[in-house]
Structure 1
Amino acid sequence: MSLVEERSAVVLDQDEFEQLARDAIRTNESLRLEFIDGKLGAKAVPDGDHDTIIEWLTRLCMQADPGRWLYPERGLRVETYRKGNARPDGTLAPSGTFAGQGEWASADGVVMVVEVTSNDRDTTNQRDRVEKPRAYAETGIPVYLLIDRETGEVKVHSQPDGVRYEQVVTVPFGKSVTLPDPVGIELDTAPLKDWAS
């Protein structure tokens, strides 16, 4: 049984999770833990195409509004009453939003979170497609962008109602899609075809 499997059977509070996450990084620098829906999980190590997608999206966000930054792998407190901890692949917020905050920051001021699916089908299906949209909607994050390399689609979740996103727009790679306000970007997804592996 792995450390993650062993600890997921145990109920953790916020402080215990944060200590476990710090210990995991000290033991293995590539291991990043999340705690969503009362379940401990590990984020997959990104590959080169994943990194390139985040780089591409960072440039687009900066061009659209130089006062915002797409923070990679920013630890956020999520879910109702901030009982969860997620590490989105990208977190769009005004520059300086997280100054003075620790590893796990408040999601106040965040306008969009981004996840790019990994090659771990089990983790991707449950975490990125089910648990994270709910957690981000509960937190009130206005836009959740899922770049799903497995299905070749982009899903834009918006209008959180405190439980779920009321609107989800899905387009295949190659089509344009609007990232609604407060993001306000028209996203041409054609380049994603090259990084869908």
Structure 2
Amino acid sequence: MSTAHDYDWGIDPEHALKYAIQHHAGDRTEVVEGVIENVTPSWDHERAAKLVRRQIESRVDELGCVEGSGNLDLPGSSNWYVPDIAVVPEELARGGGSLIPDQTLLIVEITSESNAETDRVVKRKRYAEYGAPLYLLVDRLDKTVTLFSGPGRLGYTGVDGPHAFGTPVRLPEPFGIEVDTSGL
């Protein structure tokens, strides 16, 4: 007698999971290492994101880019991220679909109690593996900011920080600006 698990349904689990997330109505939802997570940022979290956005937005505009929290696909893995801030070229943002981390110029994640280790460890590793050139980690629990650069399969080779809140953090070219971390 054949059972359902004996039959090859021809469904790619990665594709099915990501399809479900993309067509889920309502809140921000991401997949982290195969686990579906609803993202519900607190007001304090959103305030920190706003402070970073305000500081980078004029330079982002000059670069012909947009900053936002759109979907990032990590093909070949069970990951689908919605970063707190991603800076992407405007022409890529017009496509309406997801992007891949190597299509970004900068990704910013801001920790919360519920996701701090994910942002510190898992996303840092995956963003590097998928070629995100700059990853700015705003760790609200440790009250530090760290900039990661030089992505590769084994992680980031450049680490600037952690810097205590209040220490300016320089974003390298193409940004060439300092982020004031005192209000985070």
TM-score, normalising length from structure 1? 0.77
Note if contact 2:128-2:156 (Cα within 8 Å) is conserved in structure 1.
Answer: yes
3-state SS, counterpart of residue 18 of structure 1 = helix
Note if contact 2:30-2:39 (Cα within 8 Å) is conserved in structure 1.
Answer: no
Q: 1:129 aligns with which of 120, 127, 134?
A: 120
Residue 164 of structure 1 pairs with residue 160 of structure 2: no
Q: 1:116 aligns with which of 110, 113, 131?
A: 110
In structure 2, C-alpha distance between the alignment counterparts of 1:21 and 1:109, rounded to whole Å: 21
How do residues 42-191 of structure 1 correspond to structure 2 at under 5 angstroms? 42-66=37-61, 67-72=64-69, 74-78=70-74, 81=76, 84-102=79-97, 104-120=98-114, 123-125=115-117, 127-169=118-160, 170-191=162-183
Note if contact 1:31-1:43 (Cα within 8 Å) is conserved in structure 2.
Answer: yes
Greater Cα offset, 149-158 or 61-70: 61-70
- CA 1:100 to 1:78, structure 2 compared with 1: closer, same or farther past 3 Å? same
In the TM superposition, structure 1's runs of 4+ consecutive aligned residues that sit over 4 Å from their partners are none
Note if contact 1:32-1:42 (Cα within 8 Å) is conserved in structure 2.
Answer: yes
- CA 1:88 to 1:147, structure 2 compared with 1: closer, same or farther past 3 Å? same
Structure 1: stretches of 5+ with no match in the other structure: 1-11, 193-197
Q: CA RMSD in A?
A: 2.2
Note if contact 2:60-2:67 (Cα within 8 Å) is conserved in structure 1.
Answer: no
Which residue in 2 is equivalent to 1:16? 16
TM-score, normalising length from structure 2? 0.82
In structure 2, C-alpha distance between the alignment counterparts of 1:128 and 1:179, rounded to whole Å: 19
In structure 2, C-alpha distance between the alignment counterparts of 1:43 and 1:187, rounded to whole Å: 29
Identity %: 28
In structure 2, C-alpha distance between the alignment counterparts of 1:33 and 1:83, rounded to whole Å: 10
Structure 2: stretches of 5+ with no match in the other structure: 1-11
3-state SS, counterpart of residue 191 of structure 1 = coil
Note if contact 1:175-1:189 (Cα within 8 Å) is conserved in structure 2.
Answer: yes
Structure number with larger C-alpha Rg:
2
Note if contact 2:74-2:80 (Cα within 8 Å) is conserved in structure 1.
Answer: yes
3-state SS, counterpart of residue 161 of structure 1 = coil
Note if contact 2:66-2:93 (Cα within 8 Å) is conserved in structure 1.
Answer: no
In structure 1, C-alpha distance between the alignment counterparts of 2:176 and 2:78, rounded to whole Å: 30
Q: 1:60 offset after TM fit, Å?
A: 1.5
